[in-house]
Amino acid sequence: MLVVLVATPLLLARDAPVTRAPLDVPGAVLLTVAPLALIFGIVEAARTPLWSVSVLGPLLLAAAAFGAFVLVEARSRHPLVPLSFFAHRTRLTANAATVLLSAALSTTFFLATFVLQRVLGLGPLQAGLAFLPFCTVLLIAVTQVAPLIRRLGTKHTAIAGLLATAAGVASLARLPDSARLWIDVVPGMVAVAVGMAVGLIALQNAALQGVTDADAGVASGVQRSVDQLGGAVGLTVLVGTAVASGTAGGAATAAGIRSAFWFALVGLLVAAAVVAVVARSNRPRR
């Protein structure tokens, strides 16, 4: 580590002089408030009536903050996220699909852990080891994404990843009350691993399609932000669905977990359909 710290300033070339734009503080504040208020409102909706102040207040605040953000960005000379960035339909579609994919993945990880420990009765260490097939397949699948993109193009690779994830989630949505690890859980998780590797990487590529050097940071930041937002909203909405569909007392039983997986499956199929219809194809010509 010390060698790296010493060698870095000696070996790396200096950055070219650049004119730094002023920070868009209003845009940053609004873009922080909006998702926080949205998620808080969704969390409150799981335990209080939809028309209560604790639900409507945050949701209205989120809508107002998002609206104000658009107005601020449209008028700013140095916007945090130029609105023209979203005029590229493939980038817009990729980011929207990333929200739905991340929502499904975060829900799958959470509920799979719940199933392993609460339904199958595994301890924390055993539950962690049960994820080894998932991790192994994920590592293998990652190495195959680049050749797949070269062969099929970004659009069709993203669709394949979304459909593979959907197949895994569909398998988990059939979880019986007395689930078995190697028959009912592992096959679905393996399919999710393939879909996660292929889908996320392909969508990340699509989200950066046609980006100039000046907008590379914005494109990367937007992609990571929608990824995190999708995960947070997915956990909030879909895990809340699992709890609400469970038995008395709010326990997320196998029935509730199945409901959450079915909702996640619908989101994945919608994402695949949107990418198929809206995104431009860049499939290599033979």
**Domain boundaries defined on the chain:** 21-80, 88-278
Closest by Cα among 186, 175, 235, 262 to 46 = 235
CATH of domain 88-278: 1.20.1250.20
Q: Is 155:215 a contact under the CB 8 Å cutoff?
A: no
- pLDDT of amino acid 285: 54
Band of the pLDDT at 248, cuts 50, 70, 90? very low
Q: Is the Cα torsion angle 254, 257, 259, 262 positive or negative in sign?
A: negative
- pLDDT of amino acid 67: 97
- Please state, for a pLDDT cut of 70, what percent of the chain lies above it: 92
Q: Which range, of 44-48, 131-135, 181-185, 257-261, averages the lowest pLDDT?
A: 44-48
Determine the Cα–Cα distance for residues 30 and 245; give it in Å rounded to an integer: 34
Determine the Cα–Cα distance for residues 270 and 261; give it in Å rounded to an integer: 14
pLDDT above 50: residue 250: no
pLDDT above 90: residue 204: yes
Q: ∠ at Cα 26 (21, 28), nearest 5°? A: 75
Output the average pLDDT for the chain: 89
Band of the pLDDT at 251, cuts 50, 70, 90? very low
pTM: 0.87
Band of the pLDDT at 283, cuts 50, 70, 90? low
The DSSP secondary-structure symbol of 49 reads -
229-245 in b/e form (b: 16+ CB < 10 A) is bbbbbbbbbbbbbbbeb
CA of 5: how far to CAs of 14, 16, 102, in Å?
Answer: 15, 21, 35
